Structures are given as structure tokens and as C-alpha cells.
Amino acid sequence: MVPPGSNERLLSPIVKPLAWGGLVYYIVETLFGDDEEDEQPSENTASEDGSLTKGSEKDGAEGTDDTLFIPLGFAYQLPQTFYKGSDPEWQSFIQLSRNKKRCAFLKNELTGLVGQFVGTMPHMERALGKGNIPKRHWLDIDFPDGPPPEYERKGFGLLPLL
């Protein structure tokens, strides 16, 4: 029951349709929105030191401009991409997997770091005893199938007035 003199009766006819409209808009935009990415041809140019830079990376890092971004909804994950056999990241994983000495060093180093960290915890020291050092370990090095997931959010980008 609405108490007398309350403004809820006045706001309800305005706020409820706006809230429902916003929710419906978000659902429709998420499900049936424009999934086309703005594909611009990459203009690879060589810089003075001979390294290649893409056309979109000429101006520096993202987010350095003075635009104001107003998000419309939640971020969503883009479809996952996988490494190709010729990708430099994948080639570095292959080189690491073939270097058995380096893999053994990394496993031993990680085991030592975890042992030191656990040794500094008082509750673990009480449970395991003082000076507990890992003697055996079983670690597998798993390489990812692709780069980390990327996310995108739709919204308005407002340019500053000059």
C-alpha cells in the first residue's frame, strides 16, 4: 500500500516503462544486435627502426584520446580464436617444450616458490611442521590453445568540444 502523499504514484507510470524498455532493448540488442566488426584494411607501415606497425597502432595505445565512452549494457565475450602453427606465441611454446632443461628449471623454481610461500603461513606451519620443503612434485606444463579471451562492450563515444 502506498502511503498518502507519496510520489510513487507519479514516478511509477514513468519509471516502470522506461526500465522495462531498457531491459527489452538490452536483450534484443544482445541477441540480435549487429555482430559485424568494423573491418578496416590493416595498413602495415615500416617505422624508422624497421619494425612493422599496424595502421591503427600509429597513434599509440588505446584509450589515450579524450573521448568520453558511455557504455550501453554489459561486456560480452568475442568468439575464441586459436593459435596457428606459424604464430610467434605458438612457436615460443614449441621452443620451450623442446628445451627440457628450461622446463625442469621452471618446475623446480615454481615448487620452491610455493614451498616458501606455504612456509610463511602460520596455520600451514602448524599443520605441516616447521621447515617443510617439497621433496617430490608433479607439474605438467600446459600451453593454451589460443590467446586470452577478448571482450567487447557497445556504447557511445563522445568527442570533446574544441
Dump pLDDT digits (tens) for 19-31.
Answer: 777 777 777 777 6
pLDDT at 88: 93
Percent of the chain's residues with pLDDT above 90 = 26
In this predicted model, what pLDDT tens digit does every residue of 26-74 receive, in sequence order?
Answer: 777 776 666 554 444 444 444 444 444 544 444 445 555 677 788 888 9
Give the other-Cβ count within 10 Å of 43's Cβ.
10
Averaged pLDDT of the chain? 76
pTM for this predicted structure:
0.47
Q: Is the pLDDT of residue 125 over 70?
A: yes
> Which one has a higher pLDDT value, 4 or 99?
99
Mean of the pLDDT values across residues 104-109? 92
Detail the DSSP E strand segments found in 25-152.
45-46, 52-53, 68-71, 76-77, 151-152
Q: Is the pLDDT of residue 110 over 80?
A: yes
pLDDT at 104: 92
Reference 136, options 93, 107, 158; nearest CA is 107
160 — pLDDT class (breaks 50, 70, 90): confident
